[in-house]
C-alpha cells in the first residue's frame, strides 16, 4: 500500500509518501534476511536530492529493497523552483542555522510518523542522496535519539563549525562518495566521517572513481550494508 499525503494533516503535516512493506515484492531481491512484514523490519526513510521529490526517490528504495517499508517526505525549501531540505548561501556554502532548524523539523516528522503509522520500535534507516544525504547526516549528528542509521550517497559535512555535544555511540553510517565529486568535495566528506567518528559513531565508507551521483557499485555496497544484522535489528 502506498499512501500519498499532500494536504495538511492534524497529526502529520508534511507532504510525504508512505509505502507499507510487501513480502511478494521483496522476494529474493531485497537484502538477505529482510522481511518487511516483520514488526522488527527496518523502515527506509528516503530523502531526495535537490530538484527531486518524494516520488522520484522511490526508485532508489526499489533498487535497495523493493519490498521495504518506505517513508519518503518532501523537502520544504525551494531554490530556483527546485525542492531542497535547507537553504544555502551559495554553491557549497550552507545556511547552518537553517540546517539545524530543518534537521529538528525532520526529527519531529520522524517521531510523528512513527506514531501515526504504528511503527513501534522498528529501526528507521535514512537513505539520502546529495542534499538528502546532508540533511540525514545533520539529523543523525544532532538528534541521534531519533535517527541512528544513515546511508549517505554523495553527502558532505553540513554543519560547518557548529559545536556538537551528542553521543553517537549507537550510530552507524555508510558514506558513499566519488573521489572527484565537485559538488560534494572529498575533503568535506572526510570531515563528516571524522566528526562522526569523533562523536563515537561507526562509519563505513566506500569511495569510487568519478563524481556526483549514484553508481551501481554504490547501490550494491548499500544493499550489502543494509543486510548486516546490526543495521536491520532494532
Residue 90 CB partners (closer than 8 Å, separation 6+): none
Q: Do residues 46 and 54 make contact, with C-beta atoms less than 8 angstroms apart?
A: yes
Please, what is the Cα angle at 162 between 158 and 166, to 5 degrees? Answer: 90
Spell out the SS3 assignment of 166-219.
CCCCCCEEEEEEECCCCCCCHHHHHHHHHHHHHCCCEEEEEEECCCCCCCHHHH
Catalytic residues: 130, 181, 212
How many C-beta atoms lie closer than 10 Å to residue 91's C-beta?
7
Identify the residue whose cell numbers are 529482510: 34
Cα–Cα distance, 38 to 35 (Å, whole number): 6
Amino acid at each position: 500500500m502506498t499512501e500519498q499525503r499532500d494536504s495538511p494533516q492534524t497529526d502529520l503535516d508534511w507532504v510525504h509518501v508512505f509505502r507499507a512493506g510487501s513480502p511478494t515484492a521483496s522476494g529474493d531481491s531485497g537484502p538477505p534476511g529482510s522481511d518487511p512484514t516483520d514488526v522488527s523490519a527496518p523502515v527506509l526513510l528516503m530523502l531526495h536530492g535537490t530538484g527531486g521529490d518524494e516520488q522520484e526517490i522511490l526508485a532508489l528504495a526499489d533498487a535497495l529493497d523493493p519490498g521495504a517499508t518506505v517513508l519518503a517526505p518532501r523537502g520544504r525549501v525551494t531554490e530556483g523552483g527546485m525542492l531542497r531540505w535547507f537553504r544555502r548561501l551559495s554553491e557549497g556554502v550552507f545556511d547552518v542555522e537553517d540546517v539545524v532548524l530543518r534537521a529538528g523539523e525532520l526529527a519531529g516528522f520522524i517521531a510523528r510518523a512513527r506514531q501515526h503509522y504504528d511503527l513501534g520500535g522498528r529501526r528507521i534507516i535514512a537513505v539520502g542522496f546529495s542534499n538528502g544525504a546532508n540533511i540525514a547526516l545533520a539529523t543523525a549528528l544532532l538528534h541521534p535519539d531519533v535517527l541512528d542509521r544513515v546511508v549517505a550517497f554523495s553527502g558532505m559535512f553540513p554543519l560547518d563549525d557548529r559545536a556538537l555535544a551528542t553521543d553517537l555511540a549507537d550510530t552507524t553510517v555508510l558514506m558513499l562518495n566519488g573521489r572527484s565529486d565537485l559538488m560534494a568535495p572529498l575533503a568535506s566528506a572526510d570531515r563528516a566521517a571524522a566528526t562522526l567518528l569523533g562523536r563515537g559513531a561507526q562509519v563505513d565508507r566506500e569511495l569510487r572513481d568519478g563524481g556526483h551521483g549514484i553508481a551501481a557499485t554504490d547501490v550494491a555496497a548499500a544493499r550489502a550494508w543494509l543486510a548486516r544484522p546490526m543495521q536491520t535489528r532494532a
